[in-house]
Amino acid sequence: MTTDLNKFDTLLVANRGEIACRVMRTARAMGLRTVAVYSDADANARHVREADEAVRLGPAAARDSYLKVEAVIEAAKRTGAGAIHPGYGFLSENGPFVDALEKAGITFVGPPASAIAAMGDKSAAKARMHDAGVPLVPGYHGDDQDDALLKAEADKIGYPVLLKASAGGGGKGMRVVESTAGFQAALDGCRRESQAAFGDQRMLIEKYLTQPRHVEVQVFCDSHGNGVYLFERDCSVQRRHQKVLEEAPAPGMSAELRREMGEAAVRAAREIGYVGAGTVEFLLDVDGSFFFMEMNTRLQVEHPVTEMITGQDLVEWQLRVAMGERLPLAQDELTITGHSFEARLYAEDPEQDFLPATGTLTRFALDLEGAGLNADKVRLDSGVESGDAVSMHYDPMLAKLIVHGGDRDQALATLNRALAALDVQGVVTNRAFLQRLATHPAFKGCELDTRFIEKHEESLFAPREITTEAHAAAALIGLKQLSRECESDSPWDRHDGFRLNAPHTIRLALCATGHDLSRAQAPDAEDVVIVEGRRETDADPWQLVIGDETLTARIQHLEGDAVAVTLNGHRRRLQARLADNGVVVMADAAGETRLFWRRIDAIDHGQHEAESTLTAPMHGTVVALLVEPGQKVEKGMPLMVMEAMKMEHTMAAPADGHVESFHFAAGDTVGQGDVLLEFAAEE
């Protein structure tokens, strides 16, 4: 294979985060100069720090920065970039952007605009795939978007059905509709998400298979008519239609089925004149039949698992094909070696319905040596480092942890050890949830389908036994925090249980789910632990009463978030940090525990307010107000919709009653904890 890097020597990466860093890593290895672009929110981001040059695009909002075609092209011209790699998301599947680059004489590292257009319209793509002999799921893909017609088509197909944005991908603008009664509300929500993400409200409808696997095939084509498939990936474990764990090869695939799916994927690519890296996604049913879903005309988030099992650098393939070279290998030269997993690390709270999280990463590190892991078998693709801020403006994915093993069992064992060795502090993440997924008996037994998380929700989110050490650590940190809130020596200024001639006493309620603290003293609050802490002076150890147990307790802060908790003379080292109104405790044996506290020994004026207000669970933007002030509503009825990190979240009525007033309007930005509305419960 010849190498001609003179065709372009500078590459601009029109993206951010881990994919920008990953693309630049290969570009530098090939001798190319790299250019980053950034918004105001990313001025100090890792991809900016690692590039040879960086150019500001605009304000934080993607529409004013990363999605501004003219600004990206101007940045390429200013820096002499001969090519632009789009990563994934943003402009990666934007045909007009590709056309504009061609007019500007800049190489696009990706397929031609015609191929993007052919697959970008999901309805038209289905028709072309039918002509190419690629099997399709029954559904409606027509141009008529009348509400009544769409509902009639869904009724005809039979429920459950899947509503999907025709111009979309990545789980945006997508809903499963279980019955005709819920169709209109789901359609309205999908259209809002689709309009916000893609500027297009068109929908398609497909029969929702109840136990399918999501299996996709990596294809690659060059401009000389060559096309290959680099085998398949299983991406069945998803939440909100977005992937969480991926693996390659797909478990249980026969050589014949692998060949059939691979050849169908290459036919799909050739049908639209494809060039570059692409992924053809299929639903694989329990009987071995498979159906075309869509084609992503870009590099996929999960491409590293394919790189691990094939030994190929797909970004290098992309750059060489963009330079006009032929594919480096033919189909019969590609082989599978071992097994690979990828776990996506998100800034989100699985315990709170996967709400996105923001904050500053006080620590972000992977200790391979301490975990006894081979660096050749573990890879961390990250767009962040310790000290970086995680904002509300973009997708919440922080990094991807990729592992390789001789077989699936070995790779899975390595994944679990690597997840345990991944130290992420300062921002709530799904790391502990990923561990629960990877160790789940059904996942280990290859019992996979796209409803895996939903099907195993009870066991995945089952309450875990919380150790006395965890309760004590959370209580001690809470007590220390509350003690600091009152600096005055005067008892008249204190709200900490002060009694004349009595020990200083504070009572806390601790619970693993913060919303249950509202019933902390209810008779049935079995999952709430009451801790009483008392001491004579600030220099004395705390006497903790946890249930029927009384403990003499001290806490010592060590380096970072490490603490030493001493209970009745027994000293234990663990990690513990403040998180909103709670504590995250990490112990080697018990894993990660999140405990929230609530003060219950003083008059709590905030509780009355909590009953009459709703607060924002995360930073975001108000999308819609769904009721009028004064309108009577029932408990659970949607009141308003927020959007954060490209996903919608609905705020519901906490009881029967009515909204007295909204504090924000559609389009307003709100911060976590902001009071959204005043609510009057029905008496």
Residues classed as catalytic = 298
Query: CA–CA distance from 78 to each of 15, 33, 54, 107, 231 (Å)?
Result: 17, 14, 11, 15, 40
What is the DSSP annotation of 199-261? Answer: S---EEEEE--SS-EEEEEEEEE-TTS-EEEEEEEEEEEEETTEEEEEEESPTT--HHHHHHH
Assess contact for 402 and 340: CB atoms under 8 A: yes
SS3 446: coil
3-state secondary structure of 441: helix
Distances (CA, A) of 408 to 53, 312, 438: 41, 20, 12
- Cβ–Cβ under 8 Å, residues 165 and 190: yes
Element (H, E) at 576: strand 570-579
Find the helix or strand (DSSP H, E) in which 659 lies.
Answer: strand 657-662
Phi first, then psi: what are they for 293, rounded to 5°?
-100, -60
**Which ranges of 239-374 does DSSP label H, i.e. alpha helix?**
255-271, 303-310, 314-322, 368-371
Retrieve residue 514's tokens: 């913060």
Cα–Cα dist 679/258, whole Å: 56
Phi-psi region of 632 (alpha: psi -120 to 50; beta: other; left: phi over 0): beta
CA 236 to CA 109: how far, in whole Å? Answer: 28
